[in-house]
Amino acid sequence: MSKIIIACGGTGGHLAPGIAVAEVLQEGGHQCLLLISHKQVDSALVEKYGHLNFMKTPGRAYTGGLFQSLAFLGSMLSGFFASRRMLRTEAPDLVLLFGGFLSLGLGLAAQIKGIPVVLHEANCRPGRAVRMIKHLSTRIYLPDGVRLRGVPPERIRYFGYPVRKEIKHALKADAWKRLKIQVPNKLLVVIGGSQGASALNEWVTHNFEVLAKAGISLYCVTGLGKSSASTIHEVGKGGVDITATFVPFSNQMGDVISAADLVVSRAGAGSIAEIIRCRAPAILVPYPYASDDHQQANALAHEQHGAGILLSQNKLDTLTDEVLDLMFNDWLLAKFKSNLERLDRFESSQRIAADLLALCDKQKIDNSERVKPMR
């Protein structure tokens, strides 16, 4: 049996794949401790995973500026010393880092103690945390086609993004039933990522009347703290009742995405992976202020695979026309779905878990060789 610490908190895009890998490992009889942040989004997402072991740990993201940089440095040092104490107590065989501010102190502390460090980078443009600790890592998991300068090829594996096992494609009618919504014609799902997206929420509110007249119902995941759950109504063609449903958060994202004829979404790696798994054609609107502009890179790669459309936020005034054109283009939607199925080639969480266990076994052998008595 192996014991692995997984640092995955801070955003849904880091936490969800950590959960996916931990579930596979735990099903195989191994121990996992998942480190999460104190953010509300982390607390909401882990609610349904009572069978997993979570620990909240302090930390803050780097946001630029002198005072913010000093605060980030202080947070990282605090995280380093807290990680050293935790590693002494937990004695893991390996640590797995999903990037973000929780990874830095733990990665450095693990390296000093001789514990293997493994990184997972979800985005098509590697983040600051991954770039800072890449040389400490025994293994790095990257998206297809992504390169990381200065890292030997033998350390890299292209295993993709681990999707939680409950996120899976479902029939639209079944998904509608579980979500308790009525869809007379077409459904557009709008997702702002784990943090929500005010620009997309406002677009839904301002354009619902036009979309309803075309027979398009809406389901919008607004983000925690950005709205309360509500439903508004418009009269569609023939007097049909068309609804727009707003929910701050959903723990049924497999059904939410599967329910859609078309999705409008931010372009975080996690959102895109779930869109691929649920075979949902999408218009991706990258968050323009994402670090290293990684959402733009993610959306561009998705579009180049022929699985959806990239639309910059500065062209949000054209989104309604894009939705109306694409929603009723059955040939193009079918083409997108075919390409989405092609992209979903294997279970990333299974491959990553198997590789982690192989690294743990190697570390145990190496340790036993070092402590063999002299003859």
CA torsion 206-208-213-219 (nearest 10°) is: 170
Can you state the angle between helices 66-90 and 103-112, rounded to 10 degrees? 50
Distance CA 251, CA 340 (A): 23
In the chain, what are the domain boundaries? 3-165+346-370, 172-343
- Integer-rounded Cα Rg, in Å, for the chain is 22
Answer with the residue of higher pLDDT: 170 or 369: 170
User: How many CB atoms neighbour CB 151 within 10 A?
Assistant: 18
Distance CA 137, CA 305 (A): 30
Residues in Cβ contact with 299 at an 8 Å cutoff, skipping those fewer than 6 apart? 267, 272, 284, 285, 286, 308, 310
| CATH class of the domain whose range is 3-165+346-370 | alpha beta
Answer with the residue of higher pLDDT: 373 or 309: 309
Residue 192 confidence (pLDDT): 87
Here the tokens at position 33 are 């401790």
Q: What is the pLDDT of residues 116-148, one digit of tens each?
A: 999 999 999 998 888 888 998 999 999 998 989
Give counts: helices (H), strands (E), the chain. 13, 14
What is the SS3 assignment for 262?
A: strand
User: How many CB atoms neighbour CB 291 within 10 A?
Assistant: 16
Average pLDDT over residues 367-374: 65
Residue 129 confidence (pLDDT): 80
Distance CA 4, CA 121 (A): 18
Q: Do 3-165+346-370 and 172-343 share a fold?
A: yes
CA torsion 176-182-188-194 (nearest 10°) is: -60
Among 159, 116, 158, which Cα is nearest to 136's? Answer: 116
Cite the beta strand spans of the chain per DSSP E: 3-7, 31-36, 54-56, 94-97, 117-120, 139-141, 156-157, 186-191, 216-221, 230-235, 241-247, 262-265, 282-284, 308-310
Q: What is the pLDDT of residues 216-233, one digit of tens each?
A: 999 999 988 777 789 999
Q: What is the pLDDT of residues 183-218, one digit of tens each?
A: 999 999 999 876 668 899 999 999 999 999 999 999
Residue 32 confidence (pLDDT): 97
Contacts for 170-177 with beta carbons within 8 Å, 24 or more apart? 170/254, 170/255, 170/258, 170/259, 170/278, 171/258, 172/258, 172/259, 172/260, 172/261, 174/255, 175/254, 175/255, 175/256, 175/258, 175/259, 176/259
Residue 326 confidence (pLDDT): 97
Q: What is the pLDDT of residues 287-345, one digit of tens each?
A: 998 888 999 999 999 999 999 999 999 999 999 999 999 999 999 999 999 999 999 98
Residue 78 confidence (pLDDT): 74
Distance CA 221, CA 246 (A): 6
CATH of segment(s) 172-343: 3.40.50.2000
60, burial (CB in 10 Å: exposed 0-12, middle 13-18, buried 19+): middle
Average pLDDT over residues 344-355: 95
- Residue 62 pLDDT > 70, yes or no? no
Q: What is the pLDDT of residues 256-283, one digit of tens each?
A: 999 999 999 999 999 999 999 999 999 9
CA atoms within 13 A on the CB side of 22: 27
Contact 244, 204 (CB under 8 A): yes
- Alpha carbon 194 to its chain centroid, in Å, reads 8
What is the SS3 assignment for 155?
A: helix
